[in-house]
Amino acid sequence: MATTVVAEDTGQGKPRLGDRVFSRLALVAGIAILVALAAVFIFLAIEGVPGLAKPAEFYGEASSFWGYVAPLLFGTVLAAVIALVVAVPLSWGIALTVSHYAPKRVATPIAYVIDLLAAVPSVVFGLWGISVLAPRLSPVYQWLEEHAGWIPFFAGPASTTGRTILTAGIVLAIMIIPIITAISREVFSQTPRLHEEAALALGATRWEMLRLAVFPYARSGMVSAVMLGLGRALGETMAVAMVLSAGGGISFNLISSTNPASIASNIASNYKEGTPGKIQVLIATGLVLFLVTFLVNFAARWVVQRSERRLAR
């Protein structure tokens, strides 16, 4: 009687050709990204470091580089924070609706429409913001000045054109919603079905199930989505340059015309007509933005790793 012997695959055999090719390609792609980042940093450092110590006339009304870049950095961060405040709740709400609430025949078109927003060029968002959104927000700013002027954010005088840092932040929020929504939706959908059914079986409501089963599992992905959106908001150029009527200085007034510019929009507005010395100053501000973005990414990675360690306990 013949005996059939089945050899067990110990996983120690020689890797297949396809696996080796894919592994090499992935390694080359990772190295290429690091080389590109290093090349960008080297260029910014070589061209921008001389801009740190230029004569005062190259810094406009400021007397030093740090006095020149501080309002720009403040405007960049302020516009990005406004965008996150508006976009994050909307994005998470849309993602939860698509993944857990809406029926599939409704959720699928919603997901497609949101994803299509990511394909719209920033120039189109800028044109929409300056020609449609800003004029319609101007009466709202007048109302905020009259009824909430005691709050420093709405102290006024309200802009008559609507081209304020708040308008720019709203435009940025619409631009980053697809990024945050797409990543959050995928993370929510990956929650083990058994966890959700167990929570519901124990008597939890739909919201309690989301809070106790979905959010803890998806926390690291939610943080990553927000940080990717923040990176997009920090580096956006054309939409902010078109919408924002920059007046310089540091101000928390969100509805007035005295708006701080962002670093990216300031470079786009002044690079073409800049002298060699002024271009070095602009490149130096780009170096500051590069370092800030790098720090944000490192902070995001630290938060994600910390969240994953807590979840593993």
Domain ranges of the chain: 54-312
Q: Is pTM beyond 0.85 here? A: no
Ranked by mean pLDDT, which of 83-97, 143-157, 229-243 comes out on top? Answer: 83-97
pLDDT band at 13; cut points 50, 70, 90? low
CA–CA distances in Å: residue 260 to residues 29, 115, 234: 38, 31, 14
The pLDDT score that the predictor gives to residue 10 is 47
Q: Which two tokens stand for residue 61?
A: 């009304």
- Classify domain 54-312 at the CATH topology level: MetI-like fold (1.10.3720)
d(CA 284, CA 68): 11
Please give the mean pLDDT across all residues of the chain. 84
Mean pLDDT of all residues in 163-177: 90
Q: Are 76 and 262 in contact (CB under 8 A)?
A: yes
The pLDDT score that the predictor gives to residue 246 is 73
Q: Are 220 and 307 in contact (CB under 8 A)?
A: yes
Q: Which residue has the tokens 């101000």?
A: 251
Share of the chain above pLDDT 90, in %: 14
The pLDDT score that the predictor gives to residue 12 is 54
